[in-house]
Amino acid sequence: MYSDITKYFEISPRVKEGLVNSEPVVALESSIISHGMPYPTNLEVAKMAEEVVTENGAIPATIGVWKGKIVVGMDEQQRYEISNKPGDETTVAMKASVKGIPFAVIQKRNAGFTIAAILRAASIAGIRIMATGGIGGVSRGGEFTMDVSADLEELGHTSVGVVAAGCKSILDIGRTKEVLETKDVPVIGLGCDSFPAFFTPSSQYRIDYRIDSYDEAAEFLRTKWELGFQGAAILCNPVPAQYAMDQEIIDEAIRKATEMAKENAVGGEHNTPFLLDRVSELTGGASLRTNIEVIRNNAKTAALIAKSYWNHR
């Protein structure tokens, strides 16, 4: 039976124009708005990321569900309505991974998208590059709890280049890297030799391949997909040294936050937002400031890689 999936989508005029003309478009993650940062910083950062993408010659496309439509290229009002602003019920938004999208659609809700959901929606729309902060992965203790982010599964089969500062050490970075290895997801170090730990530029874990130019990063993606090798590639972009956190401060905050999650029996999709909130509180907002710079840096890099990708096609 023929089904028209476009009825589920609302693609903004600027993004549609860009896609039709093979201009570089960069997908932007939106669970960072709904669940990753507190109001109003969440909206300021979302706007900043859009501006940085634009300034660097690409078209931003924040993706989420707004009133039951999968919106590719959310405008300022739509972003406001997924901002979970305390006390404003018009801004209530779910956290949606791929599994939650149909529910948000049928109930005409608002939803911020995880990386997994962004990958899927971006891929359907023909967007090949996304920017985010850090990827989801294997939680600490995940070898027992089986708390492993659906991001890893999606990265294994959906063809989008993901610019990320590695992952936060709220996760088990070593096991996250091992699962990526199993899923055959290439982990590229953009000018770096180790897997970045989000708040700090490096960790003890290796990346797969180091690449030192945006052109070569774009060429890697083109080559992978032209060969028919489906799936994402992670383009690791370490936090600039001047914005990195003190290792001991962040380690201690994450240790405490993990303990609190255990005490409160937080599980499932609530675990990651819980940990992010606690870490921000425990560092007196220092982690949030670093997070903002990570987003700025990743938005710029994603735009430059997207430009190179589309220029050579």
Least Å from the CB of residue 25 to ligand PSU:
19
Least Å from the CB of residue 158 to ligand PSU:
13
Site for Mn ion in 36-95 (CB under 5 A): none
* Residue whose tokens read 């910083």: 41
From the list 66-74, 77-85, 144-152, 176-184, the region that binds Mn ion by CB under 5 A is: 144-152
Q: Is the Cβ of residue 131 or residue 218 nearer to ligand PSU in the bound state?
A: 131
Q: Is 115 in the site for ligand PSU (CB under 6 A)?
A: yes
288 binds, among ligand PSU, Mn ion, none (CB under 5 to 8 A by kind): none
Site for ligand PSU in 275-304 (CB under 6 A): 276
Least Å from the CB of residue 221 to ligand PSU:
20
Q: Is the Cβ of residue 138 or residue 303 nearer to Mn ion in the bound state?
A: 138
Q: Is the Cβ of residue 31 or residue 308 nearer to ligand PSU in the bound state?
A: 31
Q: Is 269 in the site for ligand PSU (CB under 6 A)?
A: yes
Number of residues that bind ligand PSU (CB under 6 A): 17
Determine which residue in the list 31, 84, 287, 301 makes contact with ligand PSU, applying CB under 6 A. Answer: 31
Question: Which pair of structure tokens corresponds to residue 124?
Answer: 């359907």
Q: Is 154 in the site for ligand PSU (CB under 6 A)?
A: no
Q: Is residue 158 within 8 Å of 151, Cβ to Cβ?
A: no
Distant-in-sequence, close-in-space partners of 248: CB < 8 Å, separation ≥ 6: none
Q: Is 61 in the site for ligand PSU (CB under 6 A)?
A: no
DSSP class of residue 30 equals S
Q: Is the Cβ of residue 153 or residue 293 nearer to Mn ion in the bound state?
A: 153
Kind and range of the H or E run holding 274: helix 271-282
Q: Is the Cβ of residue 258 or residue 308 nearer to ligand PSU in the bound state?
A: 258
> Positive or negative, the Cα torsion across 132, 164, 227, 216?
positive
Please provide residue 102's backbone torsions phi and psi, each rounded to the nearest 5 degrees. Answer: -60, -35
270-304 exposure pattern, b = at least 16 Cβ within 10 A, e = fewer: ebbbbbbbbbbbbbeebbbebbbebbbbbbbbbbb
Determine which residue in the list 10, 29, 50, 147 makes contact with Mn ion, applying CB under 5 A. Answer: 147
Least Å from the CB of residue 147 to Mn ion:
4
Please provide residue 172's backbone torsions phi and psi, each rounded to the nearest 5 degrees. Answer: -90, 95
Binding mask 162-191 for ligand PSU (x = CB under 6 A): ------x-----------------------
Single out the residue of 273, 266, 292 nearest to residue 198, CA to CA.
292
User: Which residue has its beta carbon closest to Mn ion?
Assistant: 147
Kind and range of the H or E run holding 28: strand 25-28
CA angle 189-54-39, nearest 5°? 85
Q: Is residue 234 within 8 Å of 185, Cβ to Cβ?
A: yes
| DSSP secondary structure, 200-222, as one string | SS--SSB-SEEE--HHHHHHHHH
Please provide residue 259's backbone torsions phi and psi, each rounded to the nearest 5 degrees. Answer: -60, -45
The catalytic residues are 29, 168
Determine which residue in the list 24, 73, 134, 238 makes contact with ligand PSU, applying CB under 6 A. Answer: 134
Query: What is the distance between the terminal CA atoms of the chain, rounded to a whole angstrom?
Result: 34
Least Å from the CB of residue 116 to ligand PSU:
6
Residues that bind Mn ion (CB under 5 A): 147
Residues that bind ligand PSU (CB under 6 A): 29, 31-32, 36, 114-116, 133-134, 136, 149-151, 168, 269, 272, 276
